[in-house]
């Protein structure tokens, strides 16, 4: 496969979203070992057919999979020719270590960062900043922005961050992350379009003008669904709960339902003019491929001409 040139100089998320070539992006996570890398890379190659505007790679708690995040990020950008976004968290890192990571990405030509505080890396589930590091994503964004070489994305929570004291407090903090230098917002998963639309409306009311890209995770496993919704502060609509109760023991039926529910959600979102849709793939391809195919069949375009990157 001949790589497509992604960028000749630092580009911004805004330019990626505005080039008219694609309205979808995908998240992947690094494997636990190098032996699993070929399988993950094969999955990434499959996703090039969807012509994403970018792909993101997560970062384990404390950077335990840091070298594999770097490996996949480089593979996406240099081998697949797709803009790669590296997740970067505050967990377990001093400022000096963060700078070394950023130096590595600069050397590799990676210019897109998703800046996050990160999940706690202890059994108590309480975030404790590194004594010489950053205590929140806002400060991490401000630090990265000082380099003027990265385009930065941050996370948003349509139904509220599990640790947030109030909607007002959370929106103010999100505004501060944008003011610190972030360009776009990628939301955590949700299953109710109204929750996302209300979140966008509230964000606009407090002066946040950055693009807010909805994050969609197809339902593929009932147990896993419950786990992720608790982690992300999301709720499962009563209709989905009821529908899943009837098919919970049938894995294929659950997956098919997950595709159907995601397509319906994407239809509503696209009709309301979202800038793009970000899919949480969980390193699987069949469900998201089916979703993209069904959206194309409905003439709802979320993909474009990859040669335009």
The answer to whether residue 163 is catalytic is no
Q: What is the DSSP string of the chain?
A: -PPPP--SS---HHHHHHSSS-SEEEEE---SSGGGHHHHHHHHHHHGGG--SEEEE---GGGTTHHHHHHHHHIIIIIS-S-EEEEEE-TT--HHHHHHHHHHHHHHT--EEEEE-----STT------TTS-SSHHHHHHHHHTTS--EEEEEE-TT--TT-S-HHHHHHHHHHHHHTT--EEEEEE-S-HHHHHHHHHHHHHTT--S-EEEEE-----HHHHHHHHHHHT----HHHHHHHHHHTT-HHHHHHHHHHHHHHHHHHHHHTT-S-EEEE-TT--HHHHHHHHHHHHTT------GGG-
Q: Which of 27, 71, 159, 183 is catalytic?
A: 27
Catalytic residues: 27
């Amino acid at each position: 496969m001949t790589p497509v040139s992604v960028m000749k100089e630092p580009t911004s998320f805004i330019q990626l979203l505005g080039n008219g070539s694609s309205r979808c992006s995908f998240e992947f996570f690094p494997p636990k070992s190098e032996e699993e890398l070929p399988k993950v890379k094969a999955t990434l190659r499959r996703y090039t057919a969807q012509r994403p505007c970018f792909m993101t790679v997560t970062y384990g708690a404390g950077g335990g999979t840091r070298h594999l995040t770097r490996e996949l990020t480089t593979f996406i950008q240099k081998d697949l020719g797709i803009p790669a976004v590296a997740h970067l968290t505050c967990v377990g890192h001093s400022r000096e270590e963060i700078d070394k990571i950023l130096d590595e990405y600069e050397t590799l030509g990676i210019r897109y960062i998703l800046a996050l505080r990160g999940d706690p890396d202890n059994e108590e589930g309480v975030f404790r900043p590194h004594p010489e590091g950053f205590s929140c994503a806002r400060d991490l964004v401000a630090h990265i922005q000082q380099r003027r070489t990265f385009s930065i994305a941050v996370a948003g929570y349509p139904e509220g961050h599990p640790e947030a004291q109030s909607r007002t407090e959370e929106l103010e903090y999100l505004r501060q992350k944008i003011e610190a230098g972030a360009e776009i917002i990628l939301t955590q998963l949700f299953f109710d379009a109204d929750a996302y639309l209300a979140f966008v409306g509230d964000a606009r009311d407090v002066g946040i003008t950055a693009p807010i890209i909805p994050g969609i995770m197809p339902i593929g496993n009932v147990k896993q669904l419950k786990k992720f919704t608790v982690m992300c502060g999301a709720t499962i609509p009563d209709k989905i709960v009821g529908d899943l109760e009837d098919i919970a023991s049938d894995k294929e039926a659950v997956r098919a339902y997950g595709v159907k529910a995601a397509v319906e959600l994407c239809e509503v979102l696209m009709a309301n003019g979202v800038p793009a849709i970000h899919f949480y793939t969980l390193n699987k391809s069949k469900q998201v491929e089916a979703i993209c195919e069904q959206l194309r069949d409905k003439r709802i375009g979320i993909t474009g001409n990859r040669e335009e990157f």
